[in-house]
Structure 1
């Protein structure tokens, strides 16, 4: 479906009233929603928000959820039981549901008032991936109901993000090979990030490293690094630091100064260096995770190739009862 059409229909149905937007999914699909929730918390005056792993949403339904709420659901395969159940719960409360999936036969579509079948895989534009669609839906809904002063700048960013990402992926080809050669034997990875990028620090840790490579990993917010986690720092500890473009960049810069002094195994992935500053300053921070997802996918592929560990192999997921 078309984002503008969906937004227009929802606004008409709700009489221009929006009590909240809730983001509900599991795993990597939940990660895709982090930046939209961050936008809501940073920029929105009236509507509420919440980011929920699906089963928690089912068990602890937010009291503010009502007929003027929008619940955005996402499941790549479209049949995640918890996400489908969350859609049922949302509809029973009268909320409008929007479902995103790559599967045109998905169960999720049955509990979605509006649905998006997104592109995926090699050749797919990031503009048509779930993270960008969810962000676009969110910003557009907010602009249509209470206004967003930087909406034109956001639209400008959406028109060039694919170019930025394509250029960045080309830019890192040499360094991902060096990274994989240097760090393929590591058994623990700490991923640092801030602002909207923290969502992908978490996502890279739980999906790319833990799920796809069976490696120990954790994410650490750059702002929390100095409140406990930095005590693990030494010359043998591996860090990946996501340097954001935008208001929280000083948090990442502070972490970099410390790591430059006390650590030796540090990989810095800098959104500014990779071209995100081409997007207007007013909105560039919201495009950080879209860039980081694509660039870090290059990193994980190089690591998987060196380790001879296919990204699609699983021990438990989809294989045993859980």
Structure 2
């Protein structure tokens, strides 16, 4: 596979799922001590990656769980943030300025802070009350967030199948390796067909909306300097659809949760206008070792793995490094 470090990929994913005992011990302690609400705080991609777990909690639980932008939280505050709040942060590098400031702000309000990162000596790991460390550069954080949210809901009596689900997550490294292998040919074909495309229209919903936003903003815009529109499939018929034309590249991210029918509806309309519609559907992957009832929960990880292969091929055909930036962490702001 193009620019794919298999040992590193497996080591990183294995380190994430291996955090299960630490995560469960932490959740159990928090539940026993009692807390009032949960904030999922991020910046950019790590903010978007919190959305599936806010959604999961909203679907199953009466607990107040909300995803929040780090910089906005500091600037605007939140009346419900206080001594009975638990706040989770994720950061690949552990150095994201907005998140560092948000940790300091949350702690000043008496909140209990948790950090997931790959660097124990990073500012974020040092500033939170407890840091759970994976291998360096581990991405995505969905494994850790699934374990944390799943255990929390289980302890509240809102996720009866958590133990079986968590057991199956141990299989994810090998399962995702097979997903990457299966995705390779399609990723190469998409990149070749779109090497000169300068605008993409992305559609997603349910627990894939966060990834839709992330891939549009963090990959295509930030890493490839391409123009995009991103729209939730439930909101597709309220504005953005007017941008569709016959040659518009439409990328549809399709998952396996309750929003699937909404994304189907948006895709069907898009095909009536555009002749360039590509669907990346998690249902196309076998996921041997994941029970049918859990497939929808791991869809964000599946899609991240698939589109990771697309990103590498776009980097190749466009001769544009995924590490190249003009402004982000280059200029002061």
Q: How does 1:223-242 map to 2 (within 5 A)?
A: 223-242=234-253
In the aligned structure 2, how far is the partner of 1:134 from the partner of 1:60? 25
Which residue does 1:259 correspond to in 2? 270
Q: 1:36 to 1:100 in 2, by over 3 A?
A: same
Contact conserved, 2:113 with 2:130, CA < 8 A, in 1?
A: yes
Task: Give 1:241 deviation, angstroms.
Answer: 0.3
TM value normalised by structure 2: 0.88
Contact conserved, 1:19 with 1:69, CA < 8 A, in 2?
A: yes
Secondary structure of residue in 2 paired with 1:223: helix
Task: Give 1:16 deviation, angstroms.
Answer: 4.7
Q: How does 1:1-322 map to 2 (within 5 A)?
A: 2-12=19-29, 15-45=32-62, 47-120=63-136, 129-275=140-286, 279-322=290-333
Contact conserved, 1:193 with 1:243, CA < 8 A, in 2?
A: yes
In the aligned structure 2, how far is the partner of 1:281 from the partner of 1:65? 37
Give ranges in structure 1 of 5+ residues lacking alignment. Answer: none
Task: Give 1:284 deviation, angstroms.
Answer: 2.4
Task: Give 1:77 deviation, angstroms.
Answer: 1.7
Give ranges in structure 2 of 5+ residues lacking alignment. Answer: 1-17
Secondary structure of residue in 1 paired with 2:229: strand
Task: Give 1:265 deviation, angstroms.
Answer: 0.9
In the aligned structure 2, how far is the partner of 1:7 from the partner of 1:257? 42
In the aligned structure 1, how far is the partner of 2:23 from the partner of 2:193? 47
Contact conserved, 1:54 with 1:82, CA < 8 A, in 2?
A: yes
In the aligned structure 2, how far is the partner of 1:105 from the partner of 1:168? 33
Task: Give 1:76 deviation, angstroms.
Answer: 1.8
Secondary structure of residue in 2 paired with 1:72: strand
TM value normalised by structure 1: 0.90
Contact conserved, 2:120 with 2:131, CA < 8 A, in 1?
A: no
In the aligned structure 1, how far is the partner of 2:292 from the partner of 2:239? 32
In the aligned structure 2, how far is the partner of 1:38 from the partner of 1:163? 27
Aligned residue pairs total 316
In the aligned structure 1, how far is the partner of 2:239 from the partner of 2:31? 46
Task: Give 1:234 deviation, angstroms.
Answer: 2.1
Contact conserved, 2:119 with 2:125, CA < 8 A, in 1?
A: no
In the aligned structure 2, how far is the partner of 1:191 from the partner of 1:13? 38
In the aligned structure 1, how far is the partner of 2:250 from the partner of 2:126? 42
Task: Give 1:6 deviation, angstroms.
Answer: 4.3
In the aligned structure 2, how far is the partner of 1:254 from the partner of 1:277? 29
Task: Give 1:154 deviation, angstroms.
Answer: 2.5
In the aligned structure 1, how far is the partner of 2:279 from the partner of 2:227? 19
In the aligned structure 1, how far is the partner of 2:30 from the partner of 2:245? 57
Secondary structure of residue in 2 paired with 1:267: strand
- Deviation per CA, 1:174-230, whole angstroms, max 9, x where unpaired? 211211111111111111111010100000001111110011112111111122222
Q: 1:275 to 1:31 in 2, by over 3 A?
A: farther
Secondary structure of residue in 2 paired with 1:163: helix
In the aligned structure 2, how far is the partner of 1:25 from the partner of 1:220? 20
